[in-house]
Amino acid sequence: MLTADPALTIALAAVFGGLYVFAIIVNMLREQKLKKSCILEVDQMSGRKFEEYLQILMKSKGYYIKLTPASGDYGVDLIIASKTKKIIVQAKRYKNNVGIKSVQEIASAKSLYKADECWVITNSHFTEPAKKLAISNKVRLIDREELMGWMLEQKKTDQRRDTA
């Protein structure tokens, strides 16, 4: 039977406590940066304005983008193309979590648009049923955190460009 050395136990507790505090500080700093990334403005956009914002954001990532008409698009808001693939996107600027309907719509439009991938992008989060359905239908879900990461990435790229 192993008995722990009290000094070792205290040292380990201090290390883990320090790591916990460090993680909190890192998280706080990350949140401060994210607040500067204009996500609050995204939260106030109309659905169409959010689609337009995503169009600009995805262009900055090097994609070719087409915004679909406001209606009759079978749930597809953006068509993203790279040199090797075609991606259809449903954009959901929501206050609440996005449910399975969005996943169903984009998955069912995949063959109609002859797309290689389908995504749902939101400024919010996804329900568990939506996540489960997305896995089985190979739908990529981009939630608030990933979107904010993209926004920060764009800002950094823009700042580098401005200082060059």
Residue 57 structure tokens = 């954001």
Give the whole-angstrom CA distance, residue 37 versus residue 13. 36
pLDDT of residue 37: 45
Q: What is the CATH number of the domain that holds 78?
A: 3.40.1350.10
- Pair 31, 48 in one domain: no
Tally of domains in the chain: 2
Note whether 52 and 80 are same-domain residues. Answer: yes
CA 34 to CA 118: how far, in whole Å?
Answer: 26
Q: Are residues 86 and 137 in the same domain?
A: yes
Q: State which residues form the domain around 2.
A: 1-35
Asked if residue 59 and residue 15 are part of one domain, the reply reads no
The span from the CA of 11 to the CA of 17, in Å, is: 10
pLDDT higher at 152 or 24: 152
Instruction: Please check the confidence at residue 145 and state whether its pLDDT lies above 60.
Output: yes
The amino acid at 69:
P
Q: Are the C-beta atoms of residues 52 and 66 closer than 8 Å to each other?
A: no
State whether 3 and 49 are in the same domain: no
Q: Indicate whether this model's pTM tops 0.85.
A: no
The answer on 48 and 30 residing in a single domain is: no
SS3 98: strand
pLDDT in tens, 55-98: 888 988 889 999 998 777 888 999 999 889 999 999 999 999 99
